[in-house]
């Protein structure tokens, strides 16, 4: 039996992962399931899958979790350090599906144990790509992408030599506002931004899709994961979300990965890798689809893409700044303190402030510095919001 853990088990990717584990439950020995506020779901899944331990990220919910697990053999724990401790338990395969930079410490810990890390949490690579890739290498651990775009690229590269790769083309659905006039975006509401046309995902990534901050994070993730230069990475808007991404080779060939927009494909691919097994996803009928459309993204509409390109060129700890400032800007948009378009302004203000402050972005690349940078960027994002809103 394979020992598996799911970090962020109560979320959208986590629940899709559990759906696949449930379908073949005798093949898996579940070590740890983790969640945040959704104690009921965490306890229910931990009981059914007979997990060794369930962890909530919230210290003050430990009693609730214990009560929900009463009478079962599942151990309960709470808090950020408990998450990292759970990641240190011997496991073959770990799903990293916590949302935000909070996913970084447990992900790194799993790699240090030599586990295969299925990475949905793109923030891990955006904040600390160099550190994560080096940790995986030095502990002989494997990193498998779960973002559908990166899974697509990974699959298109099987058997290929990276030397032959000319470019990687990441597709973007365009999110909730792809057909809105630019002039209406300033007044876009949280509810409108939370409604993705193609994918059913958590609220934060759905809003990030509307602003293209999700695609911006994915550009950086592509650079870190596949070790390509920024000018080898392109973004193309593809409203149908059927082509998940493409790889262009030196000889002009382009390999595209296609499938229905269902995260269980990318999750199942990472779960079954290096094999391919049956997955409960809809089969494509291209004749029924009729047409697939593609067009270039408008950078005036999506400043997040320009900022991500600056971050890729700048390197150092700028990815950690970008992600943390984005996370806080998103918090403030969700709590209705700032408007939709102001999120990019806040992120740019924080990046500029770091750039203007000697050596902050070029500090040594270790976990402590990444976390300190993350903390400071959040503080400066809050200050920038206060300045904007008064």
Residue 270 CB, nearest approach to ligand NDP (Å): 11
- Of the candidates 5, 12, 91, 135, which one interacts with ligand NDP according to CB under 6 A? 12
| Near ligand NDP in 48-77, by CB under 6 A | 57
Residue 236 CB, nearest approach to ligand NDP (Å): 18
| Near ligand NDP in 145-164, by CB under 6 A | 147
Can residue 37 be called a binding residue for ligand NDP (CB under 6 A)?
Answer: yes
- Report the interhelical angle of 342-355 vs 213-226 (nearest 10°): 40
Task: Report the distance separating Cα 271 and Cα 18, nearest Å.
Answer: 11
Can residue 304 be called a binding residue for ligand NDP (CB under 6 A)?
Answer: no
Residue 149 CB, nearest approach to ligand NDP (Å): 8
DSSP string, 314-375: H-TTHHHHHHHHHHHHHHHHHTTSS-TTHHHHHHHHHHHHHHTSTTSTTS--SHHHHHHHHH
Token duo for residue 181: 């006039």
Residue 344 CB, nearest approach to ligand NDP (Å): 18
| Near ligand NDP in 78-97, by CB under 6 A | 97
| Near ligand NDP in 111-130, by CB under 6 A | 120-123
Task: Report the distance separating Cα 292 and Cα 179, nearest Å.
Answer: 16
Q: Are strands 254-258 and 243-249 parallel, antiparallel or unpaired?
A: antiparallel
Q: Is the Cβ of residue 41 or residue 301 nearer to ligand NDP in the bound state?
A: 41
Residue 390 CB, nearest approach to ligand NDP (Å): 29
Residue 5 CB, nearest approach to ligand NDP (Å): 13
For residues 241 and 199, the answer to whether their CB atoms sit within 8 Å is yes
From first CA to last CA, the distance across the chain in angstroms is 57
Q: Is the Cβ of residue 233 or residue 360 nearer to ligand NDP in the bound state?
A: 233
Task: Report the distance separating Cα 2 and Cα 71, nearest Å.
Answer: 26
Q: Residue 355: which of 383, 315, 298 has the closest Cα?
A: 315
- Of the candidates 61, 196, 204, 353, which one interacts with ligand NDP according to CB under 6 A? 204
Q: Is the Cβ of residue 194 or residue 388 nearer to ligand NDP in the bound state?
A: 194
The length of the chain is 390
Name the site residues for ligand NDP (rule: CB under 6 A).
8-14, 35-38, 57, 97-99, 102, 120-123, 147, 199, 201-202, 204-205, 263
């Amino acid at each position: 039996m394979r020992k598996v853990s799911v970090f962020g088990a109560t979320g959208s990717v986590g629940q899709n992962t559990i759906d696949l584990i449930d379908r073949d439950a005798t093949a898996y020995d579940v070590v740890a399931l983790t969640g945040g506020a959704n104690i009921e779901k965490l306890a229910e899944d931990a009981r059914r899958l007979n997990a060794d331990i369930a962890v909530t990220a919230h210290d003050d919910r430990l009693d609730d979790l214990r009560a929900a697990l009463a009478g079962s053999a599942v151990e309960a724990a709470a808090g950020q350090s408990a998450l990292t401790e759970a990641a240190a338990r011997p496991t073959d395969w770990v799903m990293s599906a916590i949302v935000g930079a909070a996913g970084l410490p447990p992900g790194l810990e799993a790699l240090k144990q030599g586990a295969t890390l299925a990475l949905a949490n793109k923030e891990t690579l955006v904040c600390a790509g160099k550190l994560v890739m080096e940790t995986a290498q030095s502990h002989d651990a494997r990193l498998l992408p779960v973002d559908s775009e990166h899974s697509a690229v990974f699959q298109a590269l099987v058997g290929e030599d990276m030397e032959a790769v000319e470019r990687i083309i990441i597709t973007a659905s365009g999110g909730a506002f792809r057909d809105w006039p630019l002039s209406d975006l300033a007044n876009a509401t949280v509810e409108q931004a939370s409604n993705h046309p193609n994918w059913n995902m958590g609220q934060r990534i759905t809003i990030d899709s509307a602003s293209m901050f999700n695609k911006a994070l994915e550009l950086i993730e592509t650079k870190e994961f596949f070790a390509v230069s920024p000018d080898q990475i392109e973004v193309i808007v593809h409203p149908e979300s059927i082509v998940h991404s493409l790889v262009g080779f030196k000889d002009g060939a382009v390999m595209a990965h296609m499938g229905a927009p269902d995260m269980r494909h990318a999750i199942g691919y990472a779960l079954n890798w290096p094999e391919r097994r049956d997955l409960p996803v809809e089969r494509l009928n291209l004749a029924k689809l009729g047409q697939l459309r593609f067009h270039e993204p408008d950078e005036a509409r999506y400043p997040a893409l320009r900022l991500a390109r600056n971050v890729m060129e700048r390197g150092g700890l700028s990815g950690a700044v970008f992600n943390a400032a984005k996370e806080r800007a998103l918090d403030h948009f969700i709590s209705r303190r700032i408007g939709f378009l102001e999120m990019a302004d806040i992120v740019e203000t924080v990046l500029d402030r770091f750039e203007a402050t000697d050596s902050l972005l070029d500090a040594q690349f270790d976990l402590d510095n990444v976390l300190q940078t993350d903390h400071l960027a959040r503080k400066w994002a809050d200050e920038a919001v206060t300045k904007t809103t008064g």
